[in-house]
């Protein structure tokens, strides 16, 4: 039996089962006692002496065999090289278990297969799996790992961009400027990026930070959806040329789906950079 109780309900069911078993045993003893007493009364009327009901007499009854003195009456008439067979009756404890087993089997059959009150093993398994799937989907809907740098997608809804703007103003503007023009932190409106300008790169920078350079990790403060909204907002800043823009830092980032002309430009600038080295 699985004794790892997942919740109070399971513990309660287990205790209930224990109490039921206990009372069943008590009931059996009481019924047995009444039965023995009745038998003793009847025997007395018929003039047969019976020993009083004690645990010892119960033990003897449970194990009763016909005594040695009666062996000649129960001796079967075959004889194999001196080995003989007695037709003794079965011990009552064994018979009790045998009939008890039959009763249990019937109850089991009715419960599981006829009325189907309790689920079978495969059903129990399926129920448990369904519960686990339910718990998993609940976890995922609240968990922080549903959006990350590998699957982040840019949001385009005005409400998401506005929320992104609000969160940016509250947390980021001190270092990156109200319009993303830069300050302590780099300019976020130009096409130069220190850590990459793709949605995934920006999300990653925000999430993990560049702590050794003064850009903190926001993973613990902002929800994944917040970081997604800020990322989307930052992407809308591209090319806005705010006043007091900080000088470009890092490499030119070219959007993957950008026209080929820009790419050659980017390549040219890298080769120019290499040439100046």
Chain residues binding ligand HEC by CB under 6 A are 168, 171-172, 174-176, 184-186, 188, 193-195, 202, 205-206, 210, 213-215, 218, 230, 249-250
From the CB of 228, what's the least distance to ligand HEC, in Å? 11
From the CB of 191, what's the least distance to ligand HEC, in Å? 10
The secondary structure of residue 215, as a DSSP letter, is B
From the CB of 166, what's the least distance to ligand HEC, in Å? 11
Nearest to ligand HEC of 152, 188 (CB atom): 188
Start-to-end CA span in the chain (Å): 74
From the CB of 272, what's the least distance to ligand HEC, in Å? 20
Nearest partner of 253 among 208, 172, 187, 177, judged by Cα: 187
Nearest to ligand HEC of 14, 255 (CB atom): 255
Which residues, including other chains, have CB under 8 Å from residue 247's CB and lie 6 or more apart? Answer: 187
From the CB of 237, what's the least distance to ligand HEC, in Å? 10
Q: Can you read off the two tokens belonging to residue 113?
A: 């297969």
Residues in the chain: 277
Nearest to ligand HEC of 74, 174 (CB atom): 174
From the CB of 202, what's the least distance to ligand HEC, in Å? 5
Which backbone phi and psi does 75 adopt, to 5 degrees? -75, 125
Nearest to ligand HEC of 119, 214 (CB atom): 214
Taking each helix axis from N to C end, the angle separating 224-236 and 199-208, rounded to the nearest 10 degrees, works out to: 130
Output 163-166 pairs: Cβ under 8 A, ≥24 positions apart. Answer: 163/226, 163/229, 164/229, 164/230, 164/231, 164/232, 164/233, 164/234, 165/233
Nearest to ligand HEC of 166, 175 (CB atom): 175
Taking each helix axis from N to C end, the angle separating 92-109 and 55-62, rounded to the nearest 10 degrees, works out to: 80
Nearest to ligand HEC of 195, 223 (CB atom): 195
Q: Where are the beta strands (DSSP E) in the chain?
A: 75-80, 83-86, 192-193, 251-252
Nearest to ligand HEC of 201, 265 (CB atom): 201
Q: Can you read off the two tokens belonging to residue 45?
A: 């009327």
From the CB of 172, what's the least distance to ligand HEC, in Å? 3
């Amino acid at each position: 039996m699985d004794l790892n109780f997942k919740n109070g309900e399971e513990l309660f069911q287990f205790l209930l089962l224990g109490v039921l078993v206990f009372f069943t045993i008590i009931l059996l003893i009481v019924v047995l006692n009444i039965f023995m007493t009745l038998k003793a009364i009847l025997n007395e009327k018929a003039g047969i002496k019976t020993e009083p009901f004690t645990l010892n007499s119960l033990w003897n009854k449970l194990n009763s065999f016909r005594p040695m003195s009666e062996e000649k009456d129960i001796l079967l008439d075959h004889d194999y090289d001196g080995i003989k067979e007695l037709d003794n009756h079965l011990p009552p404890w064994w018979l009790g278990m045998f009939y008890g087993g039959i009763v249990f089997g019937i109850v089991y059959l009715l419960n599981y297969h006829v009325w189907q009150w309790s689920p079978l093993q495969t059903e129990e398994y399926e129920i448990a799996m369904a519960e686990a799937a339910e718990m998993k989907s609940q976890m995922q809907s609240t968990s922080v790992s549903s959006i990350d740098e590998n699957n982040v997608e840019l949001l385009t809804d005005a409400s998401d961009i506005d929320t992104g703007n609000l969160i940016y103003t509250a947390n980021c503007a001190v270092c990156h400027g109200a319009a993303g023009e830069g300050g302590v932190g780099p300019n976020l409106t130009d096409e130069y990026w220190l850590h990459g300008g793709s949605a995934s790169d920006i999300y990653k920078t925000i999430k993990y930070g560049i702590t050794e350079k003064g850009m903190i990790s926001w993973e613990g403060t902002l929800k994944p959806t917040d970081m997604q909204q800020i990322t989307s907002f930052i992407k809308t800043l591209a090319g806005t040329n705010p006043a007091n823009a900080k000088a470009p830092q890092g490499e030119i980032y070219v959007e993957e789906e950008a026209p080929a002309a820009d790419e050659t430009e980017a390549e040219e600038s890298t080769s120019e950079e290499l040439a100046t080295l």
